[in-house]
Amino acid sequence: MSKELQKNVTPAEAVNTIERVVGTFPGYRRAHTKGIAFDAIFEPSGEASNWTRALHLQRDPVPAVVRFSHFWPTPDPNELLVPIKGMAVQFRLPDGSFTNLTMANIPVFITKTPEAFVRLLQVLTREPLSLLEKLEVLRRMPEFSTLPDLLRSLKPPISFATECYHSLHSFYLVSHEGERQAVRFTWEPLLSEGLKERKGFGPPTNLESELRRRLETGHQIRFRLILQLAAPEDNIDDPSIKWPKERKTVDAGLLTIKSIREESADRMVFDPTVMTDGIENSADPILHFRSPVYGVSANRRIHGR
């Protein structure tokens, strides 16, 4: 293998690879660069309180900041060509702390390890292969064999408000008695009557404007937080493997978008490992690698690099 397929890639090397792929854009995030932020309210149902002592999953409402974004790491992506979207939520807890859920509209992460993710970026940017040729290369590589079909199954969203978003990684709920239950999180859109067909509110080439029009015309943007509970045989630490759909689920509460955030969320870091008492990170290597990558990206962004 060549040096480009080295093992034990560092967070800085991962960010450097992204910058080599698409260039650098001083002051911007290195991934999910373009987006829009809102203030919101989360109203827990209380149904999750049997599994966790986390404050925001009991019964009292908590404020939240929500950022919808495009996966591609440039400030002006072609939205129709990049169907992967993100939804990051920061819950503001009563004690002044916060916890994050950083999610995407795909059900699993696209690789098993950080090194594989960097190799994926390298394959996708090799020249002079066309996109179809690159997908064929990926299909022949065992660690990426399912990725081409996943990408082909994605359709350009008509709205951030009509997508399902998944945590990709597993976490542990910790009860008041100290018992642990592995879970994955999903945001499911709760659409207004008459919009069950997932109607859009404007040209699909500008999803930020589409969200603004929804709010301006009085249509609510709401999501249910669904917890999928793992069975003993489920793989907890591999984010590329789906759990069976028949696993027990819990409706943990309702998130309602209230208004566009005046100060945006440009300086906020939605680190997916920032949990609170009552929720713990799994041992998933991708999850733990993302945290320092976010740190490197944030440091460069804040310092105008």
- Sign of the four-CA dihedral 99, 253, 103, 166: positive
In this structure, the number of other CB atoms found within 10 A of the CB of residue 237 comes to 16
Check residue 269 and give left, alpha or beta (phi > 0: left; psi -120 to 50: alpha).
beta
**Count of alpha carbons within 13 Å of 200, Cβ hemisphere only?**
15
Q: What is the pLDDT of residue 5?
A: 39
Query: Which residues lie closer than 8 Å to 268 by C-beta, 6 or more apart?
Result: 37, 65, 67, 90
Mark whether 32 is an active-site residue.
yes
Q: What is the pLDDT of residue 1?
A: 31
The CA angle 17-21-27, to the nearest 5 degrees, is 80
Q: What is d(CA 261, CA 238) in angstroms, rounded to the nearest whole number?
A: 35
Q: What is the pLDDT of residue 127?
A: 55
Q: What is the pLDDT of residue 222?
A: 97
Q: What is the pLDDT of residue 281?
A: 98
Q: What is the pLDDT of residue 271?
A: 94
DSSP strand pairing (165-166 vs 171-174): unpaired
User: In this structure, what are the phi and psi dihedrals at residue 250, rounded to the nearest 5 degrees?
Assistant: -130, 130
Per run of 10 residues, the mean pLDDT along the chain (length 305 residues) is 52 77 66 84 97 97 95 67 87 96 91 81 65 70 70 81 95 98 97 54 72 89 98 95 96 97 82 97 94 82 66
Q: What is the pLDDT of residue 32?
A: 67
Query: Which residues lie closer than 8 Å to 102 by C-beta, 6 or more apart?
Result: 86, 88, 89, 167, 270, 271, 272, 290
Q: What is the pLDDT of residue 57?
A: 98
Q: What is the pLDDT of residue 187?
A: 98
Choosing from 32, 70, 166, 169, the catalytic residue is 32
Q: Which fold has domain 3-302?
A: Catalase HpII,  Chain A, domain 1 (2.40.180)
